[in-house]
A = this chain, B = another copy of it.
Amino acid sequence: MKGVKMYREQIKVLDCTIRDGGLINNHYFEDNFVREVYKAVSDAGVDYMEIGYRSSTSLLSRDKFGKWKFCVEDDIKRAIDGIPSKTKLSVMADVGRFEKDDIPPKNQSVVDMVRVAAYVKDIDKAIDLVNDAAEKGYETTVNVMSVSKVIETELDEALCQLEEESKTKVVYIVDSFGSLYSENIHHLVNKFKRILKTKEVGIHAHNNQQLAYANTIESIIKGANYLDATIYGLGRGAGNCPLELLMGFLKNPKFNLKPILEIIAKEFIPLREKMEWGYIIPYAITGMFNEHPRSAIALRESPQKDEYVSFYEKMLATEMD
């Protein structure tokens, strides 16, 4: 029996290695590393690469973050200069951390897509911002964060607004805490598709419970066409859906796995010795409890990093508060 793999032309893969990975190192990736990633995903035929956040220097200090928190046009240009590519470039923009002026008209930018990340409570702001980006000529998405914590009726209302009032092409389900199971994914993708009749649905999964890839597959099965992944799963905390696994599942002949395997061996195996991400017990625990990984990140930076039982007890006590 061969695997039931998937080929659907509308499927788009977005690599967000540098963007989500930047949450581990405050976006201080060196230019050469970003170039290598861009080269690998371009050679692999990945549809989009998200190179970082577009943030406002008036809202965030340039001293506190690396350049990929801001993605100034010249920095992007330097990183991609001379590399042949059909991969489109994306930046993420967090509601509250950027202003419309940070997004120039498309013809003054190397960026192809702007992804507005927002909590449900900020959906009005997100719609205003994403419409501005769409009107400036960008492809756009709205990424609905922390869907696992949202009250169902508020989510429904936000999705109705997105359908009716926004110009975004895609709306993403973001499993920020890596807490969703397949049944939740089925429910959410069905809901998103039902309400967002004129939009595509995307999935951004976290790997706290080793379910990021599985949940991405379940999303595909239910009709999601925009899929986030990162090389070797690099990303904050437990990381993301590994791009190499996802490419093994997708049968589209435009994809080539080899450049991704090559860069894993060359860059990501050594990087893993210096930066921590992946299946680590405290992240599994926050996933089980459907909580933000921040307490696990703090634990891993402390001398108590492997004191799992007391961490678990603290989470239990908080839940019962």
A312 to B207, CA, bound (A): 25
- In this complex, how many residues of chain A approach chain B with their Cβ under 8 Å: the count is 53
> B213 near A211 (CB under 8 angstroms)?
yes
| Nearest CB of chain B from residue A278's CB, rounded to whole Å | 8
> A309 near B184 (CB under 8 angstroms)?
no
A257 to B308, CA, bound (A): 11
Chain B, Cβ-Cβ closest to A266: B306
> A183 near B308 (CB under 8 angstroms)?
no
Interface-located stretch among A55-63, A108-116, A240-248: A240-248
A window 13-59: CB within 8 A of B = none
A221 to B261, CA, bound (A): 34
A16 to B244, CA, bound (A): 29
> B306 near A281 (CB under 8 angstroms)?
no
Q: Is A130 an interface residue (CB 8 A)?
A: no
Q: Is A149 an interface residue (CB 8 A)?
A: yes
Copies of this chain present in the complex amount to 2
Known: A181-B4, A242-B210. A264 touches B281 (CB 8 A): yes
A244 to B210, CA, bound (A): 12
Interface flags for A175-187 (1: CB within 8 Å of B; 0: not) read 0000111111000
> A183 near B261 (CB under 8 angstroms)?
no
Query: Taking chain A's interface residues, is the majority helix, strand, or loop, or is none over half, making it mixed?
Result: helix
Q: Is A209 an interface residue (CB 8 A)?
A: yes
Q: Is A279 an interface residue (CB 8 A)?
A: yes
> B214 near A261 (CB under 8 angstroms)?
no
Chain B, Cβ-Cβ closest to A268: B281
> B4 near A209 (CB under 8 angstroms)?
no
| Nearest CB of chain B from residue A141's CB, rounded to whole Å | 22
Q: Is A217 an interface residue (CB 8 A)?
A: yes
A211 to B248, CA, bound (A): 13
Q: Is A303 an interface residue (CB 8 A)?
A: no
> A152 near B1 (CB under 8 angstroms)?
yes
A window 117-153: CB within 8 A of B = 147-150, 152
Closest 6 CB pairs of A and B: A214-B214, A261-B308, A248-B288, A4-B183, A265-B306, A3-B181
30 A-B pairs whose Cβ atoms sit less than 8 Å apart in the complex: A1-B148, A1-B149, A1-B152, A1-B184, A3-B179, A3-B290, A4-B181, A4-B184, A5-B181, A181-B217, A181-B249, A183-B221, A209-B213, A209-B245, A210-B214, A213-B214, A214-B214, A244-B281, A244-B284, A245-B288, A248-B284, A248-B285, A261-B308, A261-B309, A262-B309, A264-B308, A265-B281, A265-B306, A265-B309, A279-B279
